[in-house]
Structure 1
Amino acid sequence: MKTWLARVLLGLLAATVLLVAAGYFTLRSMGLFRAPEYDTQAPVLPTLASPAILVFYKTSGYVHTEAIPAANALLVELAEELGYAIYVTDNGAVINPEQLSQFDVLVWNNNTGSVLSPPQQTHFRRWLENGGKWLGLHSASDNHFSWDWYVNEVIGAAFNGATRIPQQPRAQLVFENRDHPVLSGLPASIWLNDEFYSFSNSPRDTSTVLATLDESSYIEEQALVREQLRMGDHPIIWVRRVGEGAAVYSAIGHSADTYAIPEYRRLLSNALHWLIQGDHDSPAP
């Protein structure tokens, strides 16, 4: 009996080790458990007409393997439609004063983890506070958690959790401040499936909220994380001042399919155009 029990226990232990190993390597394949690697050699930029957009998609955490290329492709398409030059890179060394000065808008596309070295953080901060324009997509809020200026001044709210089961439920996105140019041509609301973020604080007091989630449309089925996700007032897209610069952040965009939604495509096109051409004197209350 003891021999039989020992064999069973050893079998269970071996199965557990295999499951843990399989889980670890699965998460590694998704980009987790990586130490940050900071780029030191800046890319050679092509000659860019003005205005120009820089798209930055570096990750050192979870990799949105489908959403990143979908967003990159859409941004290139929108830039061409708007008549703007665009450069797409995952090289963090592009965040230097000389090269940043060639761009009117910097887009962070689903970045995760620590993606900029301390000197690069300083360059980015100076560029944005001195009049740069920034657009953050989805997990642009899911990185640099220890960089207080980025969390508090660029994003304006601290990431607190995301939908789990189902990861991408269907929810209603309600637009407000509909006279803002970023919402030009959009309806009062849309329905979509995506991964929805929650935040430990609301950006409403320091930002102009452009869209909120109707929590009653999705949150009850999120049984595992319901209370963590519940905000009551749930901003999901907003604009804000950052020194002399301006920022637009949208927590939408985990799914590649989201970038094919006509209304979201229109919103991102409007955002790029407003950041480059618009009046940014009062993007926050």
Structure 2
Amino acid sequence: MTTATRRALVVRGGWEGHAPVAITDLFLPYLKDQGFAVETSDRLDVYTDAGLLAATDLIVQCWTMGEISAEQTRGLVRAVEAGTGFAGWHGGVLDSFRGDLDYTLLTGGQFLMHPPGFHDHTVQPRPERAEHPVIAGLGDFGVHTEQYWVATDPDIDLLATTTFPAGPDRDHPVVMPAVWTRTRGAGRVFVSAIGHKADDFDVPEVRTLTERGLLWAAR
């Protein structure tokens, strides 16, 4: 195991349907192997601990729904602006704290809906961003899981998309953001819409881009 030289904070909680503990546990050994000392928290008040966040190189959040206080959001945003990385996937980052504009402006997107159940769809890394370290060397790949319809900020670096087919509620296919990055001040943000269930990460490309995204976001 690599000697710890950086610090990661995993903040997990909220709706249990996204298995925040079990799924984030999948990535703890990887982070430790990459040289992070890892701490976990099941309390959003950790975002008000300015000293802790200043010493943290990466925050991994998996907290679906719930409410966040203005003080907590302010602490998180300030930490990212100062250089702490922020990363997450699926509802743990995109369906968090709906209605908090400052949080949504940090992540660059918000979950709106998904078709019922799980279904097969293709994730397509964008060829024009093929050299980005998160998706370098990855081609199109299939998943069988929820497909998120999201609202996104135009100011994101879009790395991969999925396509919703034409159907009763739309008369043409719609290309939807699925993976992106952005910066906020000195900090980096990584967001993936993929990861409703643990076996989503058994798809090699999903696991790879998520691990790379965590490292990319870290200070």
Shorter-normalised TM range: 0.7 to 0.9
Partner of 2:184: 242
> 2: distance between equivalents of 1:240 and 1:168?
28
Distance in 1 between residues matched to 2:69 and 2:122, nearest whole Å:
38
| Matches of 1:246 and 1:118, distance apart in 2 | 21
Paired with 1:127 and 1:137, the residues of 2 have a C-alpha distance of 19
TM-score normalised by L of structure 1:
0.68
| Partner SS for 2:134 | helix
Structure 2 unpaired stretches of 5+: none
| Cα drift, residue 103 of structure 1 | 1.0
Which structure features the higher share of helix residues?
1
Instruction: Find the counterpart in structure 1 of residue 109 from structure 2.
Output: 157
Note if 1:88 corresponds to 2:40: yes
| Equivalent residue in structure 2 for 1:73, among 25, 36, 43 | 25
The reply to whether residue 197 of structure 1 matches residue 139 of structure 2 is no
195, 210, 220: which one aligns with 2:159: 210
Cα drift, residue 238 of structure 1: 0.4
Q: How many Å separate the matches in 1 of 2:5 and 2:35?
A: 9
Residue in structure 1 matched with residue 13 of structure 2 by the alignment: 58
Of 34, 37, 60, which aligns to 1:107? 60
Structure 2 distance, partners of 1:158, 1:99, is 27
Describe the shift of the 1:88–1:231 C-alpha distance in structure 2 as closer, same or farther (beyond 3 A). farther
Aligned 8 A contact 2:187 2:217 in 1: no
Q: Does structure 1 residue 274 correspond to structure 2 residue 216?
A: yes
Q: Report deviation, 1:102.
A: 2.2
Whether the 8 Å contact between 1:72 and 1:88 is mirrored in structure 2 is: no
Q: Flag the structure with more relative contact order, 1 or 2, with Cα contacts below 8 A and sequence separation at least 6.
A: 2
Indicate if the aligned counterparts of 2:13 and 2:20 stay in contact, CA closer than 8 A.
no
Structure 1 portions without partners, runs of 5+: 1-47, 278-285
CA displacement at 1:206 relative to structure 2:
0.6
**SS in structure 1 at match of 2:20:** helix
Q: Which residue identity is paired with 1:53? A: A
Match of 1:121 in 2: 73
CA distance in 1, matches of 2:118, 2:63: 16
Matching of residue 142 in structure 1 with residue 95 in structure 2: yes
Give the letter aligned to residue 142 of structure 2: W
What is the RMSD computed on CA atoms of the aligned residues? 2.2
In the aligned structure 1, how far is the partner of 2:40 from the partner of 2:136?
A: 26
Could you tell me whether the CA contact under 8 Å between 2:163 and 2:173 is conserved in 1? no
Match of 2:119 in 1: 169
Q: Would you say the 8 A contact 1:133–1:247 is kept in 2?
A: yes
**What do residues 29-81 of structure 1 show as CA deviations (whole Å, max 9, x unaligned)?**
xxxxxxxxxxxxxxxxxxx943111111121xx3225x423421221121133
SS of the equivalent of 2:199 reads: helix
The answer (yes or no) to whether the contact 1:105–1:134 under 8 Å persists in 2 is yes
Cα distance, 1:252 vs structure 2: 0.8
- Report the AA paired with residue 173 of structure 1: V
The alignment's TM-score, normalised by the length of structure 2, stands at 0.87
Residue 180 of structure 1 aligns with which residue? 132
Distance in 2, matches of 1:57 and 1:70, equals 10
Q: Residue type of the partner of 1:268? A: T
C-alpha contact (below 8 Å) 1:240/1:247 kept by paired residues: yes
1:259: how far off? 2.0
**More strand per residue:** 2
**CA–CA distance in 1 between the matches of 2:217 and 2:122?**
26
Matched-pair identity in %:
25
Aligned length: 212
* Runs (4+) off by over 6 Å: none
